[in-house]
Amino acid sequence: MTRSLFVSLLSALALSGTAHAADGKSLYAANCSRCHGALGNGLPGLAPSLRDAGALGADFYLRTGYMPLDDPQTHPSRTRVLFSEPELRALVRYVASLGNGPPIPHPRWRDANVAAGLTLFTGHCAGCHQIVARGGYVTGARVPALGRATPTQIAEAVRQGPYLLPRFSPKAISDRQLDDLVAYVQYAKHPDDRGGWALGHLGPWPEGMVTWLLAASALVGVCTLLARRVRS
Amino acid sequence: MTRVKDFLIAAVVLAFGRRRPSRARPAAPRVVSAGTPDRRAENVVLGLFAAAALCAAAFIAFYALDRLGSQTQWLGLARGLSFALLAVACMVIARRLVVAEENAHPYPEPEHPDEQQTIEQIVEESGSRFTRRKLIVLAGSGAVGTLGLAALTPAASLGPALDTEQLDRTPWRRGRRLVDDAGQPIAAADIEEESFYTAYPEGASRELLGSPLVVVRLPKPRGIVAFSKICTHAGCAVSLYRKPTFAQTEPRPALVCPCHYSTFDPADGGKVLFGPAGRPLPQLPLFVDGDGNLRAAGGFTGRIGPSWSGVRQR
Amino acid sequence: MIRGLVRFVDQRSGGAPFVRKALRYVFPDHWSFLLGEVALYCFMLLVATGVYLTLFFDDSRSATTYHGPYEPLDGATVSRAYASVLHLSFQVKAGLLMRQTHHWAANLFIAAIVLHMLRVFFTGAFRKPRDLIYLLGLGMLFSAFLEGYLGYSLVDDLLSGMGLAIGYSVAMSIPVVGAYLAMLIWGGPFPGSADFWPRMYIAHVLILPLVIATLLALHLTLVAARHHTQFRESPRTTERQVVGVPTFPGQAPRSIGLMLAVFAVLFLLGGLVQINPVWLWGPYHVGDATNGAQPDWYLGWLIGGLRLMPGFDVTIGHYTLIPNPFWGGVAFPLAVLLVLALWPWAERKVAGDDAFHNLLERPRDNPWRTALGAAFVTWVFLIFVSGSGDRIDVWLGIDYVAQVWVYRIAALVLPVAVFFVTRRVCRELVAWEVLRRDMPGS
């Protein structure tokens, strides 16, 4: 009984998936064309062309929830993804078909060199993303932390340079180096915190908070306890 | 056998025996005021001491255990708790077991006019044989002062204080090749728009303020530009390059220093767009050699690194 | 046994009268008088843990290749100093505990000094005859700033290097003599000659601890000579006599208890809360930087000053006279130091009060001082907070550039507002007290 229900659910899902796959165009028309134009050429003052974005760009912007954007003037940030998996695939395929953009990269980071990745990250990324990838600030924009970025998204971002991020082609960072870089970012999500509670890996800022809010307040409390009036 | 018995008796006495009151000299009046005993508080203190000793022993045990995950945490916890328990014991002692005295004590005399006068007199009278007191004091001070200056002189050996010309020197001169992180020459054709590159002088130390460059390619007709990577404000590395994906709604390209967010315009000779920097980022003129690689076409357009008195603004 | 010991010591030192006096020395009983002790115990722990750290630290910046248990740095070119700290953190048993405890103790040391100083300032404890004691304390505070900065810098991680670059730039920015001074200290252009690291090291482990210890000894000697101040609490507490708990047996278990509590808090933090994980920051190279780099909290006011300053150099023609970092990095702390140092003398002159004071004032009793002090603290605090504007932007989404403008204006306006509000509150509190006292049946 349960099994048959499960099977029928699955087939229903599969069916709806194929139904949507054919619908990449209408999804695009409904969600993207207002700013990017009906043919993906972009609209002046609103949004850039998607002709060169490719599957890579579409995959990145849609799976991070950067797009669609309510107001084209706002700074995109990671939000809830609005589409189902089949819808995403359909949209990505459709956007990729608009021009001659790059495919989705598949970093092989599991055996890559974390040490080389750290060097690359320091040289190319730490200035904005902070050395343990906790995000930061650049004049005029906020830089996201990379804790929720998947290996694919990291690779996509490096290759494509979304929003204010510079773009690094294979000439600047080879595919092999990109694997190392991804390996480091993956490492930085859960680095070696042998010192204990990591305070978000933000350094002196939270350390100062702990000094005042925890240590200093605790000891002021101890002082008041110790010096309670003798007479009372 | 008797020794064991003695030992046991001694232990029992230590644990349960009360001190016999006032075996000492009965004649002297009390200095510390009297109070009533508090057996319960004593028990608490004993318990706390035992627990503190246990924690301290645990520290030693954790230290000895080699393969303990999060050893730092266990060590800190054991030692911290041990101190904390002792601290609580002291608090109990302070509040329950030590007599609550409130004493008054006169403040020391604010001053001692007689002694002051005597001291003054001693100094004055000791000098009564000098006839030219002022001159001698002046000469003496001069001698001691000069000697002090002489004593400080060797401090000048600390550094080449007067040789500030060193500050102007950088490894960059006409013809010096730009190399990347791996020491490879940088081909002009490999420098792409919307990206940024760190370059170093070939065959020179990278750990000089004058060495690192940040190289970007601007949209035509501007082309490749290179700037000193060291901020003119406070010497940090200008390691942020923001570039718009869609220039119509996003901020223009800029080089930014992460220390105090001085923001420089690479399209306008490194002009300061925002932040505390007082002068532009020095630019390095470039040319492309016969092999298509980037080379310096001369020195920087301004002094690199933080400013000092006498630095030319541009 | 006690009698034997006392006799032994007295016969050899003649110290019995002194010890007898010391045991019955009177400590006024108020919690705020213990804040200075917290700083003292931090200092003791700093010395103890610091000595341990010196046994493992290598004060050389010469390059070496790291090969050790921390994989992400395997094969990296690092300085010997940095490598030795990695070794201490990863391979020396209890090494990381000691290092983290040392760093937490440094943070708390300065926090305790600041709290202690606020108490001294707002109760008028610095007045004659204790102005010198206050000055010695101020000297310790500023020595501790420098001491902490050197400790932060010695490790030679990425944050150290960025901090040193800023320190170098600030030294350079001093008008006329800056470049000479920086070259003298660093032994050459940044990052300096090979001698610079041993110099920092000896300053951190010998010279400055000695300075602080000397100031501390003088500070405590003068406190003991003049006795503590006290609040006016009963008819017994007067300008002529001090009322409180004797050193022994009353105060001793309290002080020892507080000392143990300070150690407990610091070792618990040292073991359980990670501080300055230098392996994550990586080594410093001149061309590297990270976003969100911050100094330890006690120098936050300086980074705030550096960031708030509008971007200009004072020039003569085309030549720089006063580089920008001078204002935030030199003039600002110097102004703070001067205001604090001259305050007791200024107040005495303005108030025409040359008397001895053993009784404290409650903050409300002196509305002018309290209001000016509050305004001053507000000013410094605003600049301090502005130093973390970038993190506030990331955290709360408040635009950094807008923040800079808000802080610039607030630093000028808010202290004035705080002054008037505080003065009013003080006066109202006093009026309310008078009213209550005069009310029949209260």
Question: For position A193, what pLDDT does the model report?
Answer: 95
Q: Which residues contact C205 (CB under 8 A, 6 or more apart)?
A: C50, C54
Q: Is A33 exposed, middle or buried (0-12, 13-18, 19+ CB in 10 A)?
A: middle
Question: For position A6, what pLDDT does the model report?
Answer: 47
> Is there a single domain that holds both residue B197 and residue B280?
yes
Q: Which amino acid is it at B45? A: V
Query: Nearest chain C Cα to B238, which residue?
Result: C289
> Is there a single domain that holds both residue A27 and residue A43?
yes
Domain that holds residue A231: 195-232
Q: Which amino acid is it at C338? A: L
**Is residue B52 situated within a structural domain?**
yes
> Is there a single domain that holds both residue A31 and residue A68?
yes
Task: Return d(Cα C92, Cα C69) in angstroms, integer.
Answer: 12
Domain end residue (candidates: B99, B128, B149): B99
Residue C88 half-sphere exposure, CB side, CA atoms within 13 Å? 24
**Is residue B86 situated within a structural domain?**
yes
Given pLDDT bands bounded at 50, 70 and 90, which one contains residue B173?
very high
Question: For position A7, what pLDDT does the model report?
Answer: 45
> Is there a single domain that holds both residue A110 and residue A179?
yes
> Is there a single domain that holds both residue A116 and residue A95?
no
Task: Return d(Cα A130, Cα A143) in angstroms, integer.
Answer: 9
In order of start, what are the domains of chain C with their CATH numbers? 2-289 (1.20.810.10)
Q: For B146, phi and psi rounded to 5 degrees? A: -60, -40
For chain A, residues with pLDDT lower than 70 are 1-22, 228-232
> Is there a single domain that holds both residue A95 and residue A23?
yes
Question: For position A20, what pLDDT does the model report?
Answer: 44
Task: Return d(Cα C189, Cα B303) in angstroms, integer.
Answer: 13
Domain end residue (candidates: B60, B82, B99): B99
**Is residue B308 situated within a structural domain?**
no
Best C2, C49, C93 residue to mutate vs chain B (most B CBs within 10 Å): C93
Domain end residue (candidates: B99, B119, B138): B99
Question: For position C187, what pLDDT does the model report?
Answer: 93
> Is there a single domain that holds both residue B173 and residue B292?
yes
Task: Return d(Cα B301, Cα B279) in angstroms, integer.
Answer: 12
pLDDT tens, residue by residue, C348-375: 999 999 999 999 999 999 999 999 999 9
> Is there a single domain that holds both residue A209 and residue A167?
no
> Is there a single domain that holds both residue B91 and residue B173?
no
Would you tell me how many other CB atoms lie within 10 Å of the CB of residue C310? 11
CB C243 within 8 A of CB B69: no
Given pLDDT bands bounded at 50, 70 and 90, which one contains residue B26?
low
* CATH number of the CATH domain containing B233: 2.102.10.10
CB contact under 8 A, B248 and A172: no
Its ipTM equals 0.94
For chain C, residues with pLDDT lower than 50 are none
Given pLDDT bands bounded at 50, 70 and 90, which one contains residue B313?
confident
* Signed CA dihedral, C194, C199, C200, C206: sign only: positive
C-alpha dist (Å) from residue C110 to A150, B263, C116: 42, 33, 10
Share of chain B above pLDDT 90, in %: 73
Domain end residue (candidates: A73, A104, A135): A104
Neighbours of chain A (3+ CB pairs under 8 A): B, C
| pTM for this entry | 0.93
Question: For position A1, what pLDDT does the model report?
Answer: 40
Q: Which of A159-163, B4-8, B73-77 has the lowest mean pLDDT?
A: B4-8
Question: For position B30, what pLDDT does the model report?
Answer: 86
For residue C100, the chain A residues in CB contact (below 8 A) are: 195-196
Question: For position B20, what pLDDT does the model report?
Answer: 57
Domain that holds residue B54: 38-99
pLDDT tens, residue by residue, B252-301: 999 999 999 999 999 999 999 999 999 999 999 999 999 999 999 999 99
Neighbours of chain B (3+ CB pairs under 8 A): A, C
- Paired sense of beta strands C63-65 and B283-284, if any: unpaired
B58 touches chain C (CB under 8 A): no
Q: Which amino acid is it at C276? A: N
- In the three-class reduction of DSSP (H, G, I as helix; E, B as strand; rest coil), residue B284 is classed as strand
How near does any CA of chain C get to the CA of A131, in Å?
6
> Is there a single domain that holds both residue A126 and residue A159?
yes
> Is there a single domain that holds both residue B200 and residue B289?
yes
**Is residue B3 situated within a structural domain?**
no
Count of structural domains, chain B: 2
One-character DSSP codes across B259-279 = TT--EEEGGGTTEEEESS--S
- Give which of B235, C99, C298, C264 is closest to A204, Cα–Cα: C298
Question: For position B17, what pLDDT does the model report?
Answer: 66
Given pLDDT bands bounded at 50, 70 and 90, which one contains residue B18?
low
Best B59, B230, B256, B308 residue to mutate vs chain C (most C CBs within 10 Å): B308
> Is there a single domain that holds both residue A33 and residue A75?
yes
* CATH number of the CATH domain containing A180: 1.10.760.10
Q: Which residues of C165-204 are buried (b: 16+ CB within 10 A; e: fewer)?
A: bbbbbbbbbbeeebbbbbbbbbbbbbbbbeebbebbbebb
Whole-number average pLDDT of chain B: 91
Best A128, A222, A228, A231 residue to mutate vs chain C (most C CBs within 10 Å): A222
Stretch 235-264 of chain C: residues touching chain B, C-beta under 8 Å: 236, 239-246, 249-250, 253-254, 256-258, 260-261, 263-264
Task: Return d(Cα C79, Cα C65) in angstroms, integer.
Answer: 8
> Is there a single domain that holds both residue A119 and residue A134?
yes
Count of structural domains, chain A: 3
